[in-house]
Amino acid sequence: MKKLFSITRLFIVITVIAWACSKNNNEPVVALLADEQPAALASSLETVINNPVVVDATITSDVTIVSYPSFITTDYFGLVKVTGETAKTLDSNTLCLNGLEITKAQKEKLTAANTAKQSCMEANRLVLNNLDRELEAWAKAEKARIIAAARFSMDSVLLLYNNGSLTLAQKTERNTKIELSRNDQITALKGRVQEKLTQATARLVAAGKIKNCEELYLNTVKEILSASQYEKWIKCQKEKYKRV
């Protein structure tokens, strides 16, 4: 009886191993390219996020900053085909979903992942908007200082001209130099603001106050989709990242 039990148990173990091997052999082996990995895809957005739009200051206008892009707020899987449900009409923005079909459980997880990404990005926006306003205020004060210093210099030139220490030609020449220097300093404010933004953003990232929401999201998508589903989607989607 013991011998029969041992033989039966051995047969079950062999059967399970054989089934597992068969299952693994049926799973497609997907070799993703380097630019199809979440970290690589998300890094393609860093230039845009970490180098915001900074509008030059002039004598009559101040530096303005727009830090956070809006193009990554789309739910990539909003119109994906779900097994057992009526297919949705795809537009040009969702063509990467052509031929992709997922389960209802996958769709629910993807929707939750997108919601988490939106919350993450909103938190980033709040931090970056506060930084933008802080640096805009700094640039405005710096521009006022530059203008005041130039005005003081021109008043000094006028005083010298009035007491006869300068000729009209000398007065005009000095004032022209002062104005050019003032204008150059105001133009240079953009570069100074960009440098401060880069440094401040790096500190915020290091402190964990700004997160790479897109990389977190793509890693979650990779876990939710099967290997073949992710490969099919990402080979199309990565081209959209390149066009950003």
Q: What is the mean pLDDT of each run of 10 residues along the chain (244 residues)?
A: 44 41 49 69 57 80 75 77 83 74 95 93 87 93 96 97 96 97 95 90 89 88 92 82 56
| pTM exceeding 0.75 | no
Separation of alpha carbons 181 and 175, rounded Å: 10
List the domain boundaries for the chain.
Answer: 35-242
What residues are paired with 53 via a beta bridge?
A: 66
Q: Which tens digits make up the pLDDT trace of 1-15?
A: 444 444 444 434 444
**SS3 of 101, please?**
strand
Give, in order, the Cα–Cα distances in Å from 164 to each of 157, 161, 171, 219: 11, 5, 11, 75
Which residues are 102's β-sheet partners? 82
Give me 164's structure tokens.
């006869």
- What pairing do the DSSP bridges indicate for beta strands 53-55 and 64-66? antiparallel
CA dist 210 → 70, 132, 197 (Å):
16, 14, 13
| Predicted pLDDT at 8 | 42
Q: What are phi and psi of 53, to 5 degrees?
A: -75, 125
